[in-house]
């Protein structure tokens, strides 16, 4: 047995219940991955109580001590990186290679290390004859983190790293689709962190609802659908919790007439199909000017034909299955609606049905009406509609017409022109000649119904802190 296999099996053993629990299946094969524990509401209450008791001691540590412990936690992830990636691949479905499982585990390390180095210093607001006012940033207390199934490890780190950095303790509820990945991640992190500073509580919807309502939880951080986000906002209202909501996206990309189709094709592809399209800030609708339309379509087809899809543990694959049957059915419904409307299939759109895995072929749809369901509803899977435009103002109007406004992008060989168009788009982030590229130093968040609050960088630290002004 290799050291990597032994580490994977040890992690796997440590996160499974001794008895009972719920069976988790590999979305690529339909085979059982193992059993996940399921906590009760009473278990959640006990976890919050333990986190609350541990929080003053954690906050009392120096800024430097907390930074060093986050670096130690990053070291622990690196030690177990391959085991974590293999568990993630089996449970979530994403391949080991490409921007997938190994990439996600590496991103966990990068975000921990970057967050460990951020420091919110007190800010002197006034210091003159009238007096002195200084803004300080204090811990909130217990932060509740509710994560998604698409990037379960990485997004958990986005939530817990700044919270811990600022002296909060964290109770995290993983998605019911991918609990083992997060439980294993927390198990590894807790080899470096003090006891009860970070507690994972897997469970069904009632556990998440209780976390959102709990009077001893000061803040909720949530990444997931807009519909679930609305429920959390309502649940948190009675206790006036702080909230960070990173919700659904239906990101638009606009190609300008001066773009080079061959040069941008691969970046366009990965902007749309990273994690097999299961990314909130993925490119989900692409607007292309008529003179470049056929060239862009053909260039994307050539890229798509060379991207192997299959079981994640097979090293050659870079695209995997959809994570669950419900998501497969959404993609299938939207692609079918596009085909029925007369839109042109460039590649894909013919899934194998009644198979064990939730695979949907890489799909590109052309000559599609701007109001087709595949365009205006978030597909969250490997299907990209490509919409032709003849008037840039109309394309911008289409891009800005939806309630979701997480990300967007502009593709051009003229930086000044691209920036001018970018300034007219409504989104939390607009990228130029890339899509979905994130950096732990650069704040990230949504507009409109894609949520509110910022993650990453100093702004992300402020979101998990209580501003306290001392004025004299």
pLDDT range class, residue 18, cuts 50, 70, 90: confident
For the question of residue 246 being annotated catalytic, the response is yes
Do the bridges between strand 451-452 and strand 429-432 make them parallel or antiparallel, or are there none, so unpaired? unpaired
Taking 90 as the threshold, does the pLDDT of residue 7 lie above it?
no
Range(s) for CATH 3.40.605.10 in the chain? 3-247+450-471
Name the catalytic one among 91, 104, 196, 280: 280
What average pLDDT does the segment 215-234 reach? 97
Q: What is the pLDDT of residue 354?
A: 84
Taking 80 as the threshold, does the pLDDT of residue 450 lie above it?
yes
What average pLDDT does the segment 434-461 reach? 98
CA 436 to chain centre: 10
Q: What is the pLDDT of residue 5?
A: 65
Q: Which residue is associated with the tokens 């079918």?
A: 336
Helix/strand/coil (H, E, C) string of 132-188? EEEEEEEECCEEEEECCCCCHHHHHHHHHHHHHHCCCEEEEECCCCCHHHHHHHHHH
pLDDT range class, residue 65, cuts 50, 70, 90: very high
Whether CATH 3.90.1720.10 fits 251-432:
no
Q: How many CB atoms lie within 10 A of CB 262?
A: 13
pLDDT range class, residue 320, cuts 50, 70, 90: very high
From CA 151, how far away is CA 178, in angstroms rounded?
A: 9
pLDDT tens, position by position, 410-437: 999 999 999 999 999 999 999 999 999 9
What average pLDDT does the segment 289-308 reach? 98
Q: What is the pLDDT of residue 12?
A: 74
From CA 412, how far away is CA 409, in angstroms rounded?
A: 10
Taking 60 as the threshold, does the pLDDT of residue 1 lie above it?
no
The CATH number of 3-247+450-471 is 3.40.605.10
pLDDT range class, residue 9, cuts 50, 70, 90: confident
From CA 66, how far away is CA 465, in angstroms rounded?
A: 15
Burial of 27 (0-12, 13-18, 19+ CB in 10 A): buried
The pair of three-digit structure tokens given for residue 370, joined into one six-digit string:
């701007």
Name the catalytic one among 196, 246, 378, 463: 246
Contact (CB, 8 A) for 259 and 414: no
Q: What is the pLDDT of residue 13?
A: 80
Mean pLDDT of the chain: 96
Taking 70 as the threshold, does the pLDDT of residue 3 lie above it?
no
Q: What's 291's DSSP letter? A: G
- What dihedral do alpha carbons 349, 372, 293, 414 form, nearest 10°? -120
Range(s) for CATH 3.40.309.10 in the chain? 251-432
The pair of three-digit structure tokens given for residue 113, joined into one six-digit string:
């290390």
What average pLDDT does the segment 223-240 reach? 96
3-state secondary structure of 311: coil
Burial of 347 (0-12, 13-18, 19+ CB in 10 A): middle
User: Comparing C-alpha atoms, which of 36, 62, 61, 162 is closest to residue 111?
Assistant: 162
Q: What is the pLDDT of residue 142?
A: 98
For the question of residue 290 being annotated catalytic, the response is no
Q: What is the pLDDT of residue 4?
A: 64
pLDDT range class, residue 169, cuts 50, 70, 90: very high
What average pLDDT does the segment 200-229 reach? 97
Q: What is the pLDDT of residue 8?
A: 65
Angle made by CA atoms 225, 231, 237, in degrees to the nearest 5: 130
């Amino acid at each position: 047995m290799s050291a990597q296999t032994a580490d994977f099996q040890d992690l796997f053993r440590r996160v499974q219940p001794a008895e009972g629990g719920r069976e988790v299946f590999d979305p690529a094969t339909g085979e059982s991955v193992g059993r996940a524990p399921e906590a009760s509401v009473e278990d959640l209450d006990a976890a919050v109580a333990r986190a609350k008791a541990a929080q003053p001691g954690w906050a009392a540590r120096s800024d430097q001590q907390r930074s060093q412990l986050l670096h130690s936690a990053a070291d622990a992830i690196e030690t177990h990186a391959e085991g974590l990636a293999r568990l993630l691949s089996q449970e979530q479905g994403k391949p080991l290679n490409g921007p997938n499982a190994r990439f996600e585990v590496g991103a966990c390390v990068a975000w921990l290390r970057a967050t460990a180095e951020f420091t919110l210093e007190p800010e002197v607001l006034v210091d003159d004859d009238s007096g002195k006012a200084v803004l300080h940033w204090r811990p909130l207390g217990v932060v509740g983190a509710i994560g998604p199934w698409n990037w379960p490890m990485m997004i958990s780190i986005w939530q817990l790293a700044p919270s811990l950095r600022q002296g909060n303790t964290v109770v995290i509820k993983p998605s019911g689709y991918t609990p083992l990945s997060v439980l294993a991640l927390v198990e590894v992190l807790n080899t470096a962190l003090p006891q009860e500073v970070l507690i994972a509580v897997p469970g069904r919807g009632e556990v998440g609802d209780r976390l959102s309502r709990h009077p001893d939880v000061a803040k909720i951080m949530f990444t997931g659908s807009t519909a679930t986000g609305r429920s959390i906002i309502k649940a948190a209202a009675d206790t006036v919790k702080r909230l960070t909501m990173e919700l659904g996206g239906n990101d638009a990309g606009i190609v300008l007439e001066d773009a080079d189709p061959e040069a941008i094709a691969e970046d366009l592809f990965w902007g749309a199909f990273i994690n097999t399209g299961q990314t909130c800030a993925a490119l989900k609708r692409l607007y292309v000017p008529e003179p470049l339309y056929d060239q862009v379509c053909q260039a994307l087809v050539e890229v798509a034909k060379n991207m192997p899809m299959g079981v994640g543990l097979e090293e050659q694959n870079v695209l995997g299955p959809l994570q669950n049957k419900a998501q497969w059915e959404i993609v299938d419904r939207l692609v079918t609606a596009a085909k029925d409307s007369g839109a042109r299939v460039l590649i894909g759109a013919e899934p194998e049905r009644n198979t064990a895995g939730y695979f949907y072929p890489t799909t590109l749809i052309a000559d599609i009406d701007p109001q087709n369901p595949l365009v205006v509803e978030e597909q969250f899977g490997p299907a990209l509609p490509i919409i032709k435009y003849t008037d840039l103002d109309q394309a911008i109007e289409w891009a800005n017409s939806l309630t979701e406004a997480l990300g967007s992008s502009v593709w051009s060989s003229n930086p000044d022109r691209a920036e001018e168009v970018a300034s007219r788009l409504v989104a939390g982030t607009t990228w130029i000649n890339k899509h979905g590229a994130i950096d732990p130093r650069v704040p990230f968040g949504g507009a409109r119904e894609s949520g509110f609050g910022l993650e990453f960088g100093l702004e992300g630290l402020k979101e998990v802190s209580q501003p306290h002004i001392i004025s004299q």
